[in-house]
Amino acid sequence: DTGVSQDPRHKITKRGQNVTFRCDPISEHNRLYWYRQTLGQGPEFLTYFQNEAQLEKSRLLSDRFSAERPKGSFSTLEIQRTEQGDSAMYLCASSLLLRVPGELFFGEGSRLTVL
């Protein structure tokens, strides 16, 4: 399968713990996005990378959140000191510059439950 893959698919943690999600984009895609989705809502943009550079961060991305894409390939999203309000689906998407603008390829998401 050559789509976007995310790991883990499900994570249950206790409040105050740190969690890390990994995203492997489609191999030639140079743009990578993180979104968050809560129940009944559409995905909300968190941050965006072009190659290894993090070019944009949403106001939703508090300082407990950090994302990296060290070699311009896979990316990690870490949440420190988790809170119950962080419970959501975290979606990763990738796209290729010069392909169809606005055509993002999404992974299946990582569902976080904070107890």
Q: Is 47 helix (H, G, I), strand (E, B) or coil?
A: strand
Residue number with CB closer to another protein (12 or 97):
97
Distances from the Cα of 101 to the Cαs of 3, 7, 31, 97, 105, in angstroms? 18, 27, 11, 8, 12
Assess 33 for contact with another protein (CB under 8 A): yes
Angle formed at CA 22 by CA 16 and CA 24, multiple of 5 degrees: 170
- The residue whose two tokens read 């499900």 is 10
For residues 109 and 95, give the distance between their C-alpha atoms in angstroms, rounded to a whole number.
16
Span 46-105, contacts to another protein by CB under 8 A: 47-48, 50, 55-56, 58, 91, 93, 95, 97, 100-105
Residue number with CB closer to another protein (81 or 99):
99
Assess 4 for contact with another protein (CB under 8 A): yes
* Residues that bind another protein in the complex, under the rule CB under 8 A: 4, 31, 33, 35, 40-45, 47-48, 50, 55-56, 58, 91, 93, 95, 97, 100-109
